[in-house]
Structure 1
Amino acid sequence: MEMLRLYFLVTVFALLSAFIIPSINAQAPAPAPSSDGVTIDQGVAYVLMLLALALTYIIH
């Protein structure tokens, strides 16, 4: 009878630990990216267009 009580207490402790401990260490999800790359690509395109315009102006 004493072993049955010990098994019961260990089982209850294990179940409570399984539900409580993960919630203590839970972290917030990662923030969404501030830029999806479209802005960077557009900036690079503008710089290349200005470079092509300046090169065309110098050549002519």
Structure 2
Amino acid sequence: MEGTAVARLSAVIFFLFFMVGIVRGKAQDSSSPAPAPISNGMAVDQGIAYILMFVALLLTYLLH
């Protein structure tokens, strides 16, 4: 019996600390929003893909 009471008490303490951490994390979300990203990574990836496709097309044309 005593082991389950200790386990239950430790679970309750863990839950309370976990909830306090969540509440404190949510409280910090009310600050100013994050700055906008300087460069769009997706556009850079798409540009690299277009360059690679152009190089592949050029090599195919030259080797044929």
TM-score range, shorter chain: 0.3 to 0.5
User: Larger Cα Rg: Structure 1 or Structure 2?
Assistant: 1
TM-score w.r.t. the length of structure 2 is 0.44
